[in-house]
Structure 1
Amino acid sequence: MKWDGISEFVYVAELESFTKAAAKLAISTAQVSRQVTALEERLNTKLLYRTTRKVSLTEEGRVFYQHCRSILDGLDAAEQAVSNLQSKPQGRINLTAPVTYGEQQLLPLVNDFMVQYSDIEVTAFLSNQKIDLIEGGYDLAIRIGKLSDSTMMAKKLSHRTNFVCAAPTYFKKYGRPKTLDELSQYSCLLGTLDYWHFKEEDTERNIRVSGKIRYNSGYSLVDAALKGLGIVQLPDYYVQKHLVTGRLMTVLDEYREQEEGIWAIYPHNRHLSPKIRLLVDYLAEHLA
């Protein structure tokens, strides 16, 4: 209620007319009069002298007008600032993403994006843990695989494929598994999970594997595989170049699971600002 009548009072004071103020605000003269009268009653102060020919400010009215004019000027400035943000993306973006994917794929693109949009600031926190966006104050998260949180909006940016592979020297020494059940006979290079994902006759299967090595580093597992220490299952961005050169060879290709989605997610109830939308569209274009 503190805002009621403020605009009406300021325009009446500046135009010295209830009729002109009403035209400026595109409302009726009677409504302007009611709002100003209610404002005076609320303040218990007479703000305007009214005659049939002229409207002028009282002493109290002049003091009140100066403060109200400053308030409306500040509101106009605030609206203009938001408008500028809409037309020229700027400000901070807080995002989170998985560690390796963020380092190797995402953040180099974010750097390219910032070359084009120098008024945008980015803070990125890389973690393989699923972070609560609302609690952590994040505008955006990059997630890989199936999405389980229905409270978030999502846009698919790209996809990845998991490959099971090993060095040719390992296969030459120990042979190649031909079925999923045969994996138990081989030394597998483990990450954080004890099982690998496959698809058999349109059915998803998680196969428990074992081995002498367990690292929470994909690149360390790649190094172990290249040195013939076992079989590994890793996403394409870890092993693709080694598959191309022949330093690694795939196995069990017929059981390879479908591609996993790579998603940008953001809170369902949060307006997607221009700078966030711009970054998401940029990532979708270049990761695709």
Structure 2
Amino acid sequence: MFVWEGVSEFVAVAESESFTAAAKQLGISTAQVSRQVSALENRLNTKLFYRTTRKVSVTEEGAIYYRHCRQVMNGLAEAERAISERRDTPQGSIKMTAPVTYGEQFVMPLVNEFMLQFPEVEVTMELTNRQVDLVEGGFDLAIRLGRLSSSSMMARKLASRTQYICAAPMYFEKYGVPHSLSELRQHNCLVGNSDHWHFIESGRERSVRVSGNLRCNSGFALRDAALKGLGVVQLPDYYVAEDLANGSLVEILAPFREPEEGIWALYPHNRHLSPKVRLLVDHLAKACGA
């Protein structure tokens, strides 16, 4: 009869690693969350959390229990979606994630347009450059850039992007222009999330490890550094297309440029793609493709 009591509170604490944050998420008091979790531990006769004044973390038993509870809660959410989707007008919640900069600049404006068209749809967007677990996090949809590493996801290509190696004319005037991949190692390369840049040489993929005096996970910051002549940068077209067109940046090593990469919509294999999510993916594909 009481088997479900405390489970929602337990999952919220496990995911937020905080009783206070879990209480805020659930809209109840911290004391109530603590009571429910303690009652659950007593019922299971198992300690689910390690508690200190600074941190809350799951025990080994807590991690096992969390995985099962998360699956059950995802199943309940799926059941609610299945019911809501029987209605004619798309409504209900969509939880999605996208990379920070691309999400801010391109995805969210399109999502906002979609919500204007379907005002009964609620969207929770997590902008992060981490590769979050869609199933464990209960995500309906993810936008990913470039090569896909996971085969456990269904993917639909929304658009393409091209990576350019470029620098400001003032940099080349001072340090010269590299004409081969081996020469690239002699230059100050402005590094983003990876210090390996990928190329095509003699029809085969080649990875070159680069280095420089700036490492930053912001494409806008790297573009600004390149425009100011600090070094050579590799960035997608949506950062540098205008600069390349007006000559503020100059592309190099064009014969070695990789083919276009995909921009993808991903969703779990075991997650039914609901009509509202399918409509959103269609909307994104149409706009991104254009």
CA distance in 2, matches of 1:193, 1:186: 16
2:86 corresponding residue in structure 1: 83
Distance 1:229 1:82, change over 3 A: closer
> How far apart are residue 267 of structure 1 and its match?
1.0
Residues 197 and 207, structure 2, Cα contact 8 Å, conserved in 1? yes
CA distance in 2, matches of 1:94, 1:233: 31
CA distance in 1, matches of 2:83, 2:124: 26
Larger radius of gyration: 1
Would you say 1:149 and 2:150 are equivalent positions? Answer: yes
Amino acid of the residue matched to residue 117 of structure 1? F
Name the SS for the 1:83 alignment partner: coil
CA distance in 2, matches of 1:79, 1:180: 53
Would you say 1:93 and 2:94 are equivalent positions? Answer: yes
Distance 1:168 1:240, change over 3 A: same
Name the SS for the 2:104 alignment partner: helix
1:220 corresponding residue in structure 2: 221
Equivalent pairs, count: 209
CA distance in 2, matches of 1:213, 1:79: 49
CA distance in 2, matches of 1:221, 1:83: 47
CA distance in 2, matches of 1:238, 1:272: 32
Amino acid of the residue matched to residue 171 of structure 2? Y
Amino acid of the residue matched to residue 203 of structure 2? D
Distance 1:277 1:185, change over 3 A: same
Distance 1:79 1:228, change over 3 A: closer
Deviations 1:21-55 (A, max 9, x none): xxxxxxxxxxxxxxxxxxxxxxxxxxxxxxxxxxx
CA distance in 2, matches of 1:131, 1:282: 23
Name the SS for the 1:154 alignment partner: strand
Name the SS for the 1:113 alignment partner: helix
> How far apart are residue 148 of structure 1 and its match?
2.6
Distance 1:188 1:101, change over 3 A: same
Residues 85 and 275, structure 2, Cα contact 8 Å, conserved in 1? no
Amino acid of the residue matched to residue 112 of structure 2? N
CA distance in 1, matches of 2:210, 2:141: 34
2:131 corresponding residue in structure 1: 130
CA distance in 2, matches of 1:218, 1:118: 33
Name the SS for the 2:102 alignment partner: helix
Amino acid of the residue matched to residue 135 of structure 1? E
TM-score by length of 2: 0.69
2:15 corresponding residue in structure 1: none
Identity of aligned residues (%): 59
Amino acid of the residue matched to residue 89 of structure 2? K
> How far apart are residue 116 of structure 1 and its match?
1.1
Amino acid of the residue matched to residue 154 of structure 2? M
> How far apart are residue 246 of structure 1 and its match?
1.1
CA distance in 1, matches of 2:138, 2:82: 24
2:176 corresponding residue in structure 1: 175
Mapping of residues 1-288 of structure 1, within 5 Å:
82-84=85-87, 87-288=88-289
- Once superposed, which parts of structure 1, at least 4 consecutive aligned residues long, lie more than 6 Å away? none
Distance 1:253 1:119, change over 3 A: same
Amino acid of the residue matched to residue 127 of structure 2? L
TM-score by length of 1: 0.70
CA distance in 1, matches of 2:97, 2:85: 25
**What RMSD over aligned residues (CA atoms) do the two structures have, in Å?**
1.6
